Amino acid sequence: MTIFEKIARREIPANIVWEDDEVIAFHDVDPKAPVHVLVVPKRVIPRVAESMPADQALLGKLLLTTRHVAEKLDLLESGYRVVINNGPDAGESVPHLHVHVLGKRRLSWPPG
Ligand code: DGP
């Protein structure tokens, strides 16, 4: 079981900001910005490169959920970044697809 599945099952505590039947969003344990939330599908897809056509609706749901998170945490006006790390060069560390939502500071581009 992945660490994010354990969070969804309440086996590991997390500061949850959004949840429904398909997704859960909670604050990152090691935040890289004043707001740093992870949006995670409850059904495990290891990474976006392993998603399938059957995952299309769930992938869309993840992006729509980032909007809910942004609204709840007052990011809509100031802006925010949505990030998916895929594989070693991107720094992926948890093999359970998750979308980072980063906000409340000016983020540089391109990323390091
Ligand atoms: P990535 O590098 O894209 O795979 O991001 C994984 C993120 O998961 C990383 O920013 C830290 C976060 N993380 C890892 N373990 C935990 C945990 O137990 N709780 C929470 N809230 N976040 C975690």
- The per-residue pLDDT for 112 is 85
- The per-residue pLDDT for 44 is 98
**Ligand 1 center–CA 3 separation, angstroms:** 8
* Closest ligand 1 atom number to CA of residue 94: 4
8 A C-beta contact, residue 96 and residue 46: yes
pLDDT digits (tens, 9 = 90+) for 26-56: 999 999 999 999 999 999 999 999 999 999 9
- The per-residue pLDDT for 68 is 98
> What architecture is domain 3-103?
2-Layer Sandwich (3.30)
pTM confidence score: 0.98
Task: Sketch the domain layout of the chain as residue ranges.
Answer: 3-103
pLDDT digits (tens, 9 = 90+) for 57-86: 999 999 999 999 999 999 999 999 999 999
- The per-residue pLDDT for 102 is 98
DSSP type of residue 46: S
Ligand 1 residue neighbourhood (C-beta within 6 Å)? 3, 12, 14, 26, 28-30, 38, 85, 91-94
* Listed residue (44, 57, 58, 53) closest to 3, CA to CA: 44
